Structure 1
Amino acid sequence: QPILSSEVNDTYVWVTNGQNGSETFSTSETWKTLSPCTLEVFWHDVVWFSGRIPKHAFLSWVAARDRMVTRNRLISWGLSVPATCVLCVGHNENRQHLFFDCDFSRQVWYFFTLDCSWFLQSFSKMA
């Protein structure tokens, strides 16, 4: 077996996407390598604009991608939970119901859109 020389300093080289190595680690390049490249949706700038509130942007993105932990999803994962909406206790809870069909949600939307001439009725138009 070859003997390693302790007289020479070790060098770490970061290689991403088969490109030439660099002694400087790049989080951005690592993320691009590990995450799949997807097409940008048309509403990307509405959620991820420079003055965003991170928590609001994240929740908006999760809701738009239908990844919220709603009761219908919990049931589909095998959990034993009631299917009914916690806000109205009248219908099954899913994303569409929570944001648009629930009587409570409709009242909230009505309050916030009194001075607006538009109203989004579904996430399906965004996906």
Structure 2
Amino acid sequence: MFNVVIGWSIIKFSWIWERTRVMQEKVCWQKVVWFSSHILKNSIITWMVILNWLSTKDRSLDFGITHSDACLLCEGGRETRNCLFFE
């Protein structure tokens, strides 16, 4: 437990965490990604795939980072999350 002494009072980090975090209902896929023996790298990538936050070429094109969204794997369509993982 971490504590911070400010003046005469002690503030616990757990108290700050509980008052600043946003409580939301758990999503239905939560246990698929975050289970007891998960590998952190794999869980983060899976989480980003589900939320469509991966840096794919179609997203990079939308932000003006790249000039082409051609998929290198299928050589025909756009490089999207669905193309990379589901098609």
TM-score (normalised: structure 2): 0.78
Instruction: State how far apart, in whole Å, the 2-side matches of 1:91 and 1:60 are.
Output: 22
Partner residue of 1:47? 33
Q: Which one of 77, 81, 85 corresponds to residue 95 of structure 1?
A: 81
Aligned residues: 82
Deviation of residue 72 (structure 1)?
0.6
Q: Which residue, 46, 61, 76 being the options, matches 1:60?
A: 46
Deviation for aligned residue 1:79: 1.8
1:79 maps to 2:65: yes
Name the Cα RMSD after superposition: 2.3
Structure 2: stretches of 5+ with no match in the other structure: none
- Which residue pairs with 1:8 in the alignment? none
**Larger Rg: 1 or 2?**
1
Q: Work out whether residues 58 and 80 of structure 2, in 8 Å CA contact, stay in contact via their aligned partners in 1.
A: yes
- Verify the 8 A CA contact 2:61 2:69 in the aligned structure 1: yes
**Bigger proportion of residues as strand:** 2
Partner of 1:24: 12
Q: Alpha-carbon deviation of 1:31?
A: 6.9
Normalising to structure 1: TM-score of the pair? 0.56
1:105 maps to which residue?
A: none
